[in-house]
Amino acid sequence: MHTGTTLTQFIIEEQRHIAGATGEFTALLNDVVTAIKTISNAVNKGALIGVMGALETENVQGETQKKLDVITNEMMIRNNEWAGHLAGMASEEMDEVYPIPAQYPLGKYLMVFDPLDGSSNVDINISVGTIFSILRAPVPNRAATAADFLQPGVKQVCAGYALYGSSTMLVLTTGHGVNGFTLDRDIGEFILTHPGMKIPADTKEFAINASNQRFWEAPVQRYVAECLEGSTGPRGRDFNMRWVASMVAEVHRILTRGGIFMYPRDTKDPGKAGKLRLLYEANPMSFIVEQAGGVSSTGYERILDMTPENLHQRVPVILGSKNEVEVVLGYHKQA
Ligand code: P6P
């Protein structure tokens, strides 16, 4: 029985779209996929292998690290440091750039990732994910500096996420649309199950952490208030709300059935421009969302156009169904 298109076959066919691709990109992506299968296995075993719970340590964000934050970061590093495709790596869980160890060759790509996004959900068995973004190294085969990573999101060669949910899925773009794959554990391969994912332009479903309502700026206050007024208000229709506290799960829902996801700038911590990180959350997710026909903005500018100022820069994020995001952007313009 034919197993369907495997990810390996798909990547090799995709590679033909990437200017100058020499097979290195394919090999790099295969190593990323190996790391994701390893992470899926650890996440799915959970308490059986003692990976639940928090550590005494904090990451650069000042967030308490879960055991799995550190374990999955290690898995991404170990599976990708040796093959000679990368000039360096950066991650939510590491303050600085990870240099490729001297015993391994340097390559022409950079990878930045959030190894376990939404990890606060691990202990309560709610979906979590891995987000990754691949850039070209400005100077191939030279150890990457932090500055090398500070490229606008439009420069991404590839962006993807793994969602460790009821099934493990991998969603990927290399700039030619978005495709979803489901892990078949019996053969250890990701199979193409969601070709050509597209976000519906309209939606009646918004996602935001409503507990921050008093801190939002006026345009977001107005937008959410109108959603809650529903058919009795200016929008003339009722809305539904979701909040999973796992960006990967929210984005996947939006790719599957539409929606708008907002983690806007708020005054809760005036020193922070937003909660989500530009390099390894907002940029890869924005690349995927735009490739699926959606829109992704800070409220004031296209996220993919931003030139990052530092590895862990935070930005406001408003993304999803084109027509709905444009309503919110219109309110920002009026303000
Ligand atoms: P809050 C997870 O920590 C994360 O970075 C995103 O995945 C998620 O959308 C957001 O933060 C949840 O934030 O404030 O609701 O816990």
pLDDT in tens, the chain (335 residues): 667 899 999 988 877 777 777 788 889 999 999 999 999 999 999 888 777 777 877 777 777 777 889 999 999 999 999 999 999 999 999 999 999 999 999 999 999 999 999 988 988 999 999 999 999 999 999 999 999 999 999 999 999 999 999 999 999 999 999 999 999 999 999 999 999 999 999 999 999 999 999 999 999 999 999 999 999 999 999 999 999 999 999 999 999 999 999 999 999 888 888 999 999 999 999 999 999 999 999 999 999 999 999 999 999 999 999 999 999 999 999 98
Name the CATH superfamily for 7-194.
Fructose-1,6-Bisphosphatase, subunit A, domain 1 (3.30.540.10)
Answer yes or no: is the C-beta of 275 below 6 A from any ligand 1 atom.
yes
Answer yes or no: is the C-beta of 57 below 6 A from any ligand 1 atom.
no
From 68, 206, 209, mutation site for ligand 1 pocket: most ligand atoms within 8 A of C-beta: 209
Total-model pTM: 0.96
What residues does CATH 3.40.190.80 cover in the chain? 205-334
Answer yes or no: is the C-beta of 207 below 6 A from any ligand 1 atom.
no
299: left (phi over 0), alpha (psi -120 to 50) or beta: left
From 60, 119, 263, 277, mutation site for ligand 1 pocket: most ligand atoms within 8 A of C-beta: 263
pLDDT tens digits, one per residue of 40-90: 999 999 888 777 777 877 777 777 777 889 999 999 999 999 999 999 999
CA of 225 to the centre of ligand 1 (A): 22
List all residues 6 or more positions away from 107 whose beta carbon is below 8 Å from its beta carbon. Answer: 24, 28, 83, 84, 85, 86, 87, 100, 137, 140, 141
From 126, 265, 276, mutation site for ligand 1 pocket: most ligand atoms within 8 A of C-beta: 276
pLDDT for position 63: 75
As a CATH number, domain 205-334 is: 3.40.190.80
List all residues 6 or more positions away from 211 whose beta carbon is below 8 Å from its beta carbon. Answer: none
Instruction: Take atom 1 of ligand 1 and give the residue whose Cα is closest.
Output: 245
Q: Are 88 and 144 within 8 A, CB to CB?
A: yes
Instruction: Take atom 15 of ligand 1 and give the residue whose Cα is closest.
Output: 245
Distance, CA of 116 to CA of 70 (rounded, Å):
9
* The dihedral sign for the CA sequence 277, 241, 288, 76: positive
pLDDT tens digits, one per residue of 204-215: 999 999 999 999
pLDDT for position 195: 97
pLDDT for position 2: 62
- Coil, strand, or helix at residue 231? helix
Answer yes or no: is the C-beta of 246 below 6 A from any ligand 1 atom.
yes
pLDDT for position 120: 86
Which atom from ligand 1 is nearest to the alpha carbon of 263? 9
Answer yes or no: is the C-beta of 209 below 6 A from any ligand 1 atom.
yes
What residues does CATH 3.30.540.10 cover in the chain? 7-194
Answer yes or no: is the C-beta of 143 below 6 A from any ligand 1 atom.
no
For 59-82, give the DSSP string.
-TTSPEEEHHHHHHHHHHHHHHSS
Distance, CA of 162 to CA of 170 (rounded, Å):
4
From 61, 275, 314, 318, mutation site for ligand 1 pocket: most ligand atoms within 8 A of C-beta: 275
Answer yes or no: is the C-beta of 269 below 6 A from any ligand 1 atom.
no
pLDDT for position 1: 60
Answer yes or no: is the C-beta of 117 below 6 A from any ligand 1 atom.
yes
Distance, CA of 170 to CA of 129 (rounded, Å):
9
